[in-house]
Structures are given as C-alpha cells and as structure tokens.
Amino acid sequence: MARIAYDDSSAAAFTATRHLDADGLASWRAAVARHLPTTAGARLLDLGAGTGTWAAAFRDWYGVDVVAVEPSAAMRARSVYPGMVAGAAEALPLAAASVDSTWISTVIHHLPDLPAVAAELRRVLRPGAPVLVRSVFAGRGGGITLFRWFPEALRVVESYPSVAEVCAAFEEVGFAPAALESVPQISARSLREAADGLRRSAHTPLLLLDDADYARGLRRMRAAAERTPDAPVVDSMDLLVLR
C-alpha cells in the first residue's frame, strides 16, 4: 500500500503542481537517454505512471511503445497518456519477458515489498533490460530545495528506502547496480511561483508532517520568496539504474 492514498484530492493536487515543464524535463531526457533502449519496437514499462506525463514524454522523445501501469483510479482518470493500465507492482498485467526497460519515478518509497517488486520486474523484463529509478533516497535528500523550508520533512525521507536497500532487494533476483547519478532539474521558474503553487497533498513528505511543522515551513518558504530575486528553482534527484 502507498504511504498516502492517491484519492481525488491528492491526484488533483499532483496534476496541478507536480508536472515539470520543458525546461525541467530537459536534463532528464539527456540522463535517461544514456541508459534506455530506444531501438525500433522497444517497449518500456512506466511503473506507477501517475497521470502519464512521463509515459507521454518517453513516447514523444524516443518513439518507444510505453505501457503505463498505475494502481490509482483517480490518477488514471487524469491521465494525459491514452490506454493507462490498472495494476500493482507486485502483480503486473504483463506477459513474461515482454518489456525492454522499466521507469519508476518517485514511486519506490510507496512499494513496501521491494523483493516482490524486483521479482515481478525480473519476470516481465527481457534479459539485460534496465530498471531506471528516479527518486529521493534516504540519506540523499539534500538536493531538494523544499527541504530548506521544511527541514522536518527530511525525517520522513529518512524512512524511504536507501540506495543500498533498493540494490539489495534487486540483487536477490539477479539485478546489479549499473549507475547512480544526481540529475538537476528546474522545478519552478521562481521561489515565489513554487510557494504560490505548493499543494501539501501532492508531496508525501509534507503530507506526513504534523500540521504545526507544515505551517512553520510554509511561513519560512513564503518569507524567503519575498526576499529572493526571481530565479529558477533547481532541485537534484537521483537516477539509479539496475540491470
């Protein structure tokens, strides 16, 4: 079960605030291209696809066939990618050895049984196919600007899987770590824009804070936005690749 329920409220907040624009996506396009099979007919699994923005981007960037699997009906209802499939990470509605790569974006901390997920991915992936995990891992949250104003949220991130824990779960079924890199992204055009557009229910670490900590953080962020010149907000997240 996910750490938060992706119901209509959280799905609407996610849709409104968690989609990167073209500038934010550019660095990820370059990073992913170094690891993703993009030959004609390649098939990619977008696991925990949310509202389908990554699936649509991969289709447009690389011309690959994307199977977007998402368990939340509320997220699927808001999908920008046609043909979203209902399904769980531990029991994928896919045939064995039927996909050439897997993309898992900001989802790994919602998967409580990582060994079961790894085993299921081993079943559906062709030999040698990569798993690309975009995430904030325990012990590696320092690149997220939001945590400057909500430092208590780092305690939530410390409960997320670490890189070592993810690697260990996947190594049990024959995957090995192939790459780990920090990828910068433009998350907002300014801190003022980020503060004005913030939706608590779209961010797991903020939703799991108590109300007092969230209120204090929001005051810090808004005060900082008032005194900060307009400049892009740049965050860094990890890309872990396993094969």
156-208 residue pLDDT tens: 999 999 999 999 999 999 999 999 999 999 999 999 999 999 999 889 999 99
> What is the percent of the chain where pLDDT is above 70?
93
The yes-or-no verdict on residue 2 having pLDDT over 70 is: no
Q: What is residue 129's predicted lDDT score, i.e. its pLDDT?
A: 97
Q: What is residue 11's predicted lDDT score, i.e. its pLDDT?
A: 65
Q: What is residue 1's predicted lDDT score, i.e. its pLDDT?
A: 46
Which of 3-12, 23-32, 204-213 ranks highest by mean pLDDT?
A: 204-213
What is the CATH number that goes with domain 18-143+159-187+235-242? Answer: 3.40.50.150
Contact predicate 104/55, CB 8 Å: no
- The structural domains of the chain, with segments of one domain joined by +, span 18-143+159-187+235-242
The yes-or-no verdict on residue 132 having pLDDT over 60 is: yes
Mean pLDDT of 72-84: 93
The yes-or-no verdict on residue 27 having pLDDT over 50 is: yes
Residue 142 contacts by C-beta under 8 Å, 6 or more apart in sequence? none
Give the sign of the dihedral formed by CA 92, CA 134, CA 171, CA 161. negative
Residue with token string 């959280």: 10
Per-chain mean pLDDT for the chain: 93
How far is 68 from 47, CA to CA, in rounded Å?
6
Give the H or E element holding residue 179. strand 177-188
The yes-or-no verdict on residue 13 having pLDDT over 80 is: no
Phi and psi (nearest 5°) for 24?
Answer: -70, -30
Give the H or E element holding residue 224. helix 211-227
pLDDT in tens, 208-225: 999 999 999 999 999 999
Least confident of 10-14, 102-106, 112-116: 10-14
Neighbour-count burial for 183-212, b at 16+ CB within 10 Å, e otherwise: bebbbbeebbebbeebbbbbbbbbbbbeee
How far is 174 from 122, CA to CA, in rounded Å?
8
Contact predicate 43/126, CB 8 Å: no
